[in-house]
Structure 1
Amino acid sequence: MTNSPSTLFNRFKNLTTSIKYRRSLPQNHMVEDIFLVSYPKSGNTWIRFLIANAIKVHYQIEREINFFSIDDIIPAVQGFTNLKPQGPFGLTELSRIIKSHAAYNPYYYRTILIVRDPRDVMVSYYYYLKSCCRITENYPLTDFIHHETYGVDAWVNHTTSWFYTVKPGQIVQLFLYEEFIQEPVKQLGQLMNLIGLKIEESNLVKAIELSSKENMRKSFKQHTSTYLTQIYKGNFVRRAEVTKGQELCDEDKKIIEEKTKDIAKIIGYNY
């Protein structure tokens, strides 16, 4: 029996949709996987260090958490490739925790979503892309905010996708970067509970100390590859502060606030 044009079209559409989402999935994806999701420069790497150090201290594991080891302990998502089947540090009792910057994905059944004030995100992302030469040194910040791929519209699309598209059965837990800065012990404790570990407060404090921006800056200098050192001008860990877009001019700040106001209000940001 010959398939109708509409049937063939739907099959093609379903195939392309599946490929789109599987680009941000490991090939050996498991329902139990926990995805640590954020828009770039929203604190994802810092949270990875916090989680890894909390697990390390809890289990008394003798392994340094640095910019080399973190990708083995809490790897970034690699589409169409396999990741180690065990959880962090090879622990089978823990689910894998996988870093991702992807927009909404229906195959992410357990997601920890990290959101940061878009005004600070734009500034941090701008300097990051300049440091790794993905935009020119003299590229204006104002133009960056309007950039189709990196700018504020991209932030809005990414963030709203996680608030408006979630299907039944998916678990998405929201954490704000600013609350991690203000109350790191409380926030890290809540996050670790979601992962399935109740960590003593003294161990949370130790994990936070190990993950300080000073220690992370030192680690970046010591453990990045020669290749990264050649292409990256500066330190991956910049100010790591809550400034509400302090470096922005009034006009740029107003543009960001206007474009993000609807989703920002839902999240809890009041401009």
Structure 2
Amino acid sequence: MNKSIVWLASYPKSGNTWTRIFLANYFANEDKALSINHADRFGFGDSAEPMYRKIAGKAIDPHDKRQILALRPRLLSAISTNGASHNFVKTHNANAAAFGFELIPPQVTRAAIYILRNPLDVAVSFSRHFGVDHAEAVERMGRSDYVTKSNEKFVTEFLGSWSDHIMSWSMTRAFPTLVVRYEDMLASPEEAFEKMLRHAGLPVDEPRLEKAVRFSSFEEVSKQEEEGGFKETSKVSDRFFISGTSGQWQTELAPALAKKIRKQHRKMMKKYGYLE
């Protein structure tokens, strides 16, 4: 089986979308910014319900987790053998097993890029995107059995806790994995995205890199969303691209909840420099 999949993995609201928009602009190499609503032409998401329905060749029940998981190996095999040397696949799934099915099979995996963000900021963005209060967001991020609910567009994703998620990806030896902090992407996007391209085994063209960074900037994507909307915007949120900065938690997250996050995720936060 062809190992062509490069996973773009992250916990929700950690910078995955920015990464995919950058890559789309890098691959498109146009003279103007690619529409944010066309970024998925250059990559796949492993939770889109229509893809599972296409593989099944018939109607499916997106709420039937076992049915979806049984179809997953066929879906990933189809992606990995589509003739491309690199297939970038977005996932929020943990690198784990669910109901006996391996979610991230090494036999189709070329490499993985794991995007990490301060969980204090994740909680704020998570709350806004999923339409829950901060306390509920923190509670979900701390659950080892946390899974998303399926709907007509997306099937269930198996996440686990924020800390479990990071460990599942960063500690694997089954395939090469690059861990990149969202905060470092903000500080030096050219350097961060260059590392991603090289890790995936792709050539780096410096002018093309600089242009793709510019075309995927927060100013550009937020302008596009304001003018034409963004199809990935949550139904319970007015905007997808809110600030493009780090540290929002300092003014938005209650001290008690920040303390709870630090207690629950102390080990991983300390490892990646998120504890003062």
TM-score (norm 1): 0.72
Structure 1 residue 249 displacement after superposition: 1.7
Contact 2:44 2:89 in 1 (8 A): yes
Report whether the alignment pairs 1:177 with 2:179: no
Structure 1 residue 186: Cα displacement: 0.9
Structure-2 residue corresponding to 1:37: 9
2:45 aligns to what SS in structure 1? coil
Structure 2 match to 1:75: 44
Amino acid in the other structure paired with 2:17: T
Map of 1:52-67 to 2, 5 A cutoff? 52-57=24-29, 61=30, 65-67=34-36
Match of 2:105 among 104, 107, 110: 107
Give the equivalent residue in structure 1 for 2:156: none
**Corresponding residue number in structure 2 for 1:158:** 165
Q: Mark the structure with the bigger radius of gyration.
A: 1
> What count of residue pairs does the alignment treat as equivalent?
223
Residue 267 (1) aligns with residue 265 (2): no
Structure 1 position 123 matched with structure 2 position 114 = no
Higher alpha-carbon deviation: 103-112 or 47-56: 103-112
Match of 1:256 in 2: 261
Secondary structure at the residue paired with 1:235? Answer: coil
Structure 1 vs Structure 2: percent identity of aligned residues?
A: 24
In structure 2, C-alpha distance between the alignment counterparts of 1:198 and 1:258, rounded to whole Å:
42
Deviates more, 1:213-222 or 1:236-245: 213-222
Shift of 1:260: 1.0
- Give SS of 2:17's match: helix
Corresponding letter in the other structure for 1:146: E
What is the aligned partner in structure 2 of residue 141 from structure 1?
Answer: 134
Q: Give, in whole Å, the separation in 2 of the partners of 1:229 and 1:170.
A: 32
Equivalent residue number for residue 86 of structure 2: 95
Q: Under a length normalisation based on structure 2, what TM-score does the superposition of the two structures give?
A: 0.71
Query: For residues 218 and 142 of structure 1, do their structure 2 counterparts lie closer, same or farther at Cα, with a shift above 3 Å needed?
Result: same
1:42 Cα deviation from its structure 2 partner: 0.2
Q: CA RMSD in A?
A: 2.9
Unaligned 5+ segments in structure 1 are 1-28
Equivalent of residue 202 in structure 1, options 185, 190, 207: 207
- Counterpart residue type for residue 199 of structure 1: V
More displaced 10-residue stretch of structure 1: 151-160 or 230-239:
151-160
* SS at structure 2 position matched to 1:231: coil
**In 2, Cα distance between equivalents of 1:34 and 1:119:** 28
Alignment of 1:225-236 (within 5 A): 231-236=235-240
